[in-house]
Structure 1
Amino acid sequence: MAPAARITSGAAEVRGRILRAVQGFADERFAPVRAVFEENLASGAELGASVCVNVGGRTVVDLWGGFADAARTRPWRRDTIVNVYSVTKTVMALTALLLADHGEIDLHAPVSRYWPEFAANGKDGVTVAHLLSHSSGLSGWERPISVTDLYDWEKATGLLAAQAPFWPPSTASGYHVLTHGYLVGEVVRRVTGRTPGTFFREEGATPLGADFHIGLPAAEDDRVAEMIPPDKDTPLFAEPTPLQANASGNPPFDVAVTGSRAWRGAEIPAAGGTGNARSVADVLAVLASGGRGLLSEAGARRALEVQVEGRDLVLGLDLRFGLGFAVSGGLMPNPNTLYWGGLGGSLAIVDLDAGVTFAYTPNRMAGGLADVRGLGLAMAMWESMALL
């Protein structure tokens, strides 16, 4: 066989092995989603990943494949889980909506009603809704902190309670990269007497049978996929403003940290959640399926209530923030759609008009903010449903 033919044959063999490694199922109607997922793995755009679609409370796509480690020694299995970064915020928001629906939190009440120390430095008018919508003015810590400080709940929340807002609250959003989870989580802790990860596990994950963790037990470490940094170190912001530099660089962060026991075990409710596409969809389908017994349909739809819109001071994008989620502003087929993604590519979409929940969780990270892998899968889903 000629060298070129051998190369072609070898490439086809590798591609075939990757395609055969895709496991799970996709209803016939959603074959385009499977095709895109397989192509991403075959092309090398993915190392390992999972994607899940739930329609009307029924799972219609549940696929996984590839590898859980850079050395390609561990196949991505059905129970493989991975750090989903900021998709964790959507789960934390759901806990706040649950408490609001049960009458334990007034989302438009001052945070200081539940967390008295928070009123310091002119924050007495900041509401829980401001925290959820990234408009509290606390997009980062004013004082320099380290990654190890993120593992110290009292220190992380205490510093935020003491500092002044960076801008007048409610006047604009400024993405709360890491602070979001501590702010919302401390309200949850003050109201329930339980840490946010414990409250979510007992009141959300366990009743739903969802394999999602905010604070992962050490016994689960063997199932966690390795996060693979981008091939090229692309900065999030070419010329960051002081606000952007603070939000994205305080503390300085290395992807390798997510593989440590300290990170996995800590409750970091803005970026440290561990799960897979199935578990994210299992949790967020509560919002698309009328509450599923956890909260009322009206309580679920509250997430759509836009609190602030316009140019986000940190991300530099035009966004409409509801209560814990971005709300579609013409970006998606249906107007009553919630969404958010995480650094590295994870993505969650909840379309309340169509009753659809979409989740995607990869372990190979793309550089910067322009990762379209998850969106490509979502577009295949919408095409399958004749929504595009």
Structure 2
Amino acid sequence: ISGELVVYLWGGYADKSCDRLWDADTLATFFSCSKALTAITLAMQVDRGRLQYSDTIDRHWPEFGQNGKKEITVLHALQHQAGLQYLREKDGTVAVLDQYELTDLKAMDRWIEIQKPIFPPGEVSIYHALSFGWILDGLMRSVDEKGRSVGEFLKDEIIDKQGIEDVFIGGMPEVEYRIARVRSHTRNNRMVLMEWMCDVAAISTTAPIYYWPKSIFRKELKNMYGAKDFKLANHPLTRKVRPPAANGVGNARNLAKVLDVFEEGRLTSKEIPDKIREPKIVGKFDQVLGARVHKGHGLLYTKSPL
């Protein structure tokens, strides 16, 4: 808080298969915390006058405007209102991309460019688990004066300049040995079953989202070479993917440092963190997250007890 480390705890296994314990230097895939970093990098570009939240994306990335996407704004994409929750083939079936396409920025740009909105842009906010990153990384490379990706901009303009270590989006082979392995729970997992047996609401909301094959979330996950669970995060090529929706790697201490320097106004003018401190979408039910959430400018909001 205000630059002071208040609590930093760890425990358990970094890799249960070989009894490797979690320690102070262990790194982890922090999945959708990556979206907050994307939001911060784009806020910096807004502050520098490279774009505005109200701009249509095709103003900066003309090819994006194909197939009914001309009215999608930067804010729509940041607030999960673009209607592009998952990628589809031309016949409307869910696209299953291989690892080589997913690591090819130009190929992913083309996939985004040919998409048609699944829902009318701006009408509903439904979590874009993966496409959030593909859309906004393409936008970042279009507006940045050096053509950098979100991960490259993050490293150059935040991590290096602020002296922060161990926060990455893409391209970190030198720290592979420090990254914890992801394990997937199963339906037979005892703790999960115990929770569900005691919470009827959890059964009714999360079971259809995470286990029904035709749910939006399962279709989003299928884009990642037909993945059925989160173990795909252990693949080095997955971590190489730069589009920044769910592939950030780091630890809690240094991720908190990035958020702290932004909130203090050290990355932008003070007006920017003030502008995005309050949500713009309040308490709306999200069909992917299975809960009523507050969203705005690329962030999810919750009340701090502090």
Instruction: State whether TM-score is above 0.5.
Output: yes
- 1:26-61: per-residue Cα shift (whole Å, max 9, x none)? xxxxxxxxxxxxxxxxxxxxxxxxxxxxx1221121
Residue 201 of structure 1 deviates from its aligned partner by 0.6
Shift in CA distance, 222/109, structure 1 to aligned 2, threshold 3 Å: same
CA deviations 1:46-99 (Å, max 9, x no partner) are: xxxxxxxxx122112122233211135323222210111111111111111111
1:9 equivalent in structure 2: none
Return the letter of the residue paired with 2:41: T
Give the aligned partner of residue 318 of structure 1.
Answer: 292
1:277 aligns with 2:263: no
**Mapping of residues 210-249 of structure 1, within 5 Å:** 210-232=165-187, 236-239=209-212, 243-249=216-222
Structure with the bigger RCO (C-alpha within 8 Å, sep 6+) is 2
SS of the residue 1:311 aligns to: strand
Q: Shift of residue 127 of structure 1?
A: 0.5
Aligned counterparts of 1:268 and 1:189: Cα–Cα separation in 2? 11
SS for the counterpart of 1:160 is helix
State the superposition RMSD in angstroms: 2.1
| 2-structure distance, mates of 1:240, 1:307 | 31
Contact 2:137–2:243, Cα closer than 8 Å, also in 1: no
Give the structure 2 partner of residue 125 of structure 1.
71
Shift of the 230–238 alpha-carbon distance from structure 1 to 2, 3 Å rule, reads: closer
Offset, 1:312 = 2.0
Does 2:73 match 1:145? no
Aligned ranges 1:1-388 → 2 under 5 Å: 55-71=1-17, 73-143=19-89, 144-148=95-99, 149-192=101-144, 193-208=147-162, 209-232=164-187, 236-239=209-212, 243-251=216-224, 252-253=226-227, 254-288=229-263, 290-291=264-265, 293-309=266-282, 310-328=284-302, 332-333=303-304, 382=305, 385=306
**Percent of aligned positions that are identical:** 30
* Structure 2 counterpart of 1:10: none
Three-state SS of the structure 1 residue aligned to 2:50 is coil
When residues 246 and 273 of structure 1 are mapped into structure 2, their CA distance, relative to the original with a 3 A threshold, is same
Residues 147/93 of structure 1: CA separation in 2 closer, same or farther (3 Å cut): farther
Unaligned ranges ≥5, structure 2: 90-94, 193-206
Give the alignment's TM-score, normalised by structure 2. Answer: 0.83
Asked whether the equivalents of residues 210 and 283 of structure 1 are also in contact (C-alpha less than 8 Å), the reply is no
Deviations 1:160-187 (A, max 9, x none): 1211111111111011010001111111
Cα gap change, 1:255/1:242 in structure 2, threshold over 3 Å: closer, same or farther?
Answer: closer
Letter in 2 for 1:71: S
Partner Cα distance (1:284, 1:190) in 2: 24
| Closer/same/farther in 2, CA of residues 145 and 238 from structure 1, 3 Å limit | closer
Offset of 1:157 from its aligned partner?
Answer: 2.3
Amino acid at match of 1:196: V
| Cα distance, 1:242 vs structure 2 | 5.1
Aligned equivalent of 1:355: none
Distance in 2, matches of 1:71 and 1:108, equals 48
SS at match of 1:58: coil
CA distance in 2, matches of 1:305, 1:165: 28
What's the offset of the Cα at 1:101? 1.4
State the TM-score, normalizing by the size of structure 1. Answer: 0.66
| Aligned partners of 2:213 and 2:219 also within 8 Å | no
Partner SS for 2:6? strand
Q: Deviation digits for residues 294-321 of structure 1, max 9, x if unmatched?
A: 1122211333354444222433422221
Give the superposition deviation at 1:237: 3.1
Radius of gyration: which is bigger?
Answer: 1
How big is each residue's C-alpha offset from its partner over 1:219-264, in whole Å with a ceiling of 9 and x where there is no partner? 1111111112214368643546553442243332243322222112
Aligned-partner residue type, residue 187 of structure 1: L
Q: What letter is aligned with 2:160? A: T
1:113-154 deviations in Å (ceiling 9; x for gaps): 111001111111111011100001111101212241322222
- Answer whether contact 1:304 1:323 (CA < 8 A) is retained: no
Which residues of structure 1 form unaligned runs of 5+? 1-54, 334-381
